[in-house]
Amino acid sequence: MSAFNWADWIVTTEFVVGLLFFLAFAIGYHFSTGGQWRRSPEGRHMMSLSLSLVAVGLLAVLNNVWQDYPARDLGRVAVYAWFAHGGAMRLLLLFRAQRARRRDHTGPVDAQSPHERIA
């Protein structure tokens, strides 16, 4: 481990705080929906993307603290692929929602909750 300067400590702390917030969201989302998030594509996406952001934050902390560690390259490839998949799924869900609204003649998707279907 190389010597940290003040900016390294701040950035690492910010990543730790951020990943804890995303982890708290995932735990809260699971318990607040009673596990019903699994029943909709939107719910699964919310959980997957939140957990992928936890993984990105953890990867950043590991890279800041230990520049080289076992399975580092494999971890980076897996985490960044998971993160990219989350972005692609978000775009796909947007297109599906817009197409469904046009098909139902209700106009474009507005800011309503994507979780109305989870009940």
pLDDT tens per residue across span 53-87? 999 999 999 988 888 888 889 999 999 999 999 99
The dihedral region occupied by 107, where left means phi > 0, alpha psi between -120 and 50, and beta the remainder, is left
pLDDT tens per residue across span 20-30? 999 999 999 99
Q: How far apart are CA 27 and CA 29, in angstroms?
A: 5
State both tokens at 88. 């692609």
Is the pLDDT assigned to residue 114 strictly greater than 90? Answer: no
Share of the chain above pLDDT 90, in %: 63
Is the pLDDT assigned to residue 108 strictly greater than 50? Answer: yes
Q: How far apart are CA 93 and CA 44, in angstroms?
A: 11
Is the pLDDT assigned to residue 1 strictly greater than 60? Answer: no
Helix (H), strand (E) at residue 114:
none
